[in-house]
Amino acid sequence: MARAENNNCGEPPDHPHYVAQPGDTEDAQHIAMERSFAGHGSLELNVCSGELHIEPGHGDRLRLRIETASSPELKMRAYVKTFDVSDDQVTISLQFPHKTHPVVVLEVPSTASLKSEINLGAGKFYFDADGIKGNREVNLGAGDGYLSMKDDRGYADFEANVGMGSFHDHRPGGRSSHFIINREYQGKGEGSLEVNVGAGSIDIDPARGGTI
């Protein structure tokens, strides 16, 4: 199991490296940015806490938007530690305090050659496993993970690990497990999918959308 980056979830956050570009928008409880990215290479996303939605992108545009339930002490941009997007590499690190209840939505263009690593310290994630292509790894320290997955055509191999908690596969023929879980599947698609939860749950739902 990969270890998520030890992001600072307190205040003040680390010094940010995010540089706003034309078209980025921000107010007291929202920030949004968009960059060109064709879905090749590597993507790393580190979020210390919150509700995280990973959805397929449209065309060659990567979009990130963040909304908080309450206004943080600093400007929204202060909690975007890193937002670097190049032709073949994306690195994003977010340090919004847990008390602001951030909701993060990342729309990612993807191809079979994309290698993505998603790390969430605590909270909930919603991951479109059918829509995001390539080799995918999702790590959650504590909380609940929800995978949108109709069948076994979205991966060549799929591994799910829960240190302590539960696993629920709502696909036809799927089953549930509890406590310490390690499940491995072979599929009819391409790419690998690995989902690791330290404490909490993994739910596979063929009907779950996750778009907000």
Where are the domains positioned within the chain? 26-205
pLDDT at 175: 86
β-sheet bridge partners, residue 22: none
Rounded distance between C-alpha atoms, residue 168 and residue 128, angstroms: 16
Radius of gyration of the CA atoms of the chain, in A: 17
pLDDT at 11: 64
The three-class DSSP label of residue 150 is coil
Angle (nearest 5°) at CA 100 between 22 and 166: 110
pLDDT at 173: 83
List pLDDT tens digits, range 62-101: 999 999 999 999 999 999 999 999 999 999 999 999 999 9
Residues of the chain with pLDDT under 70: 1-8, 10-12, 208-212
pLDDT at 82: 95
pTM: 0.91
